[in-house]
Structure 1
Amino acid sequence: MEFQTTKRDLETVFSKIQSQVAEASLPEEADVNRLARLAQRLHQQADENWMDEAEDFSHLAGQLLNAVKKGDVEGCVMLVESLDDAQSYCHRMFRD
C-alpha cells in the first residue's frame, strides 16, 4: 500500500509542477523538493522490472531541483517535459 500512496503523492505534486511550468513560471522549490524525495522513495520501492526507469525519473527530478535553485526557467521547462516523457513511457510499459 505504501507504493500506491507514494505514486499518488508523486503524481499530485508533479501535476502541480507541470501547471506552474505551463504558465512559464519557475516551479515552487518546496514542490520540486517534494517531487525529488518522492521519486527517490519510488525508486527504493521499485520492482526489479522497472527499477531503471524509476532511477532515471529520480535523476531527472534531482536535476529539476538544481535548475529551480539556479532560477533556470528554460531548463525547468525542458526537464519537466523529460519527466513527463519518462512517466508516460513507464506507465505504458509497466502499468500496474
Structure 2
Amino acid sequence: MTPSPDSRPSLDAVIFGLCSEAPAGRTICPTDAAKAYAESRGEDELGWRSHLTEVRRAAVRLANQGRLVITRKGKAVDPNDFRGVYRLGAPSSE
C-alpha cells in the first residue's frame, strides 16, 4: 500500500531525520537519504536511484541556508563547488 501524499515526509524532513539520528559529529550518505525518501513514498527497492539528483539539490540548498553541512573526505566543502563522493551532516554547534 502506497502512503497517502499527505502522510509522506518531505525530502528535507527525511534528510534532517537521518542527520539527527546519526551519532554526534557523524554524517550520512546521500544514498541513504534517497533510499529512505523512496521508501517513505512507497516506491520499489530501486526507486531511490531516481532521487539522487533531488537529494544533491536539496543538500546544496540547505547548506546555503546554513542548515546542513556537505563534507568530502571529512572536511566541509563549498556547497556550490564540489564533486565526487560527499556526505551530509548537521552543522556543528560551535
TM-score, normalised with respect to structure 2: 0.31
Larger Rg: 2
Q: Give the number of the structure whose residues are more often helix, by fraction.
A: 1
Q: Give the number of the structure whose residues are more often strand, by fraction.
A: 2
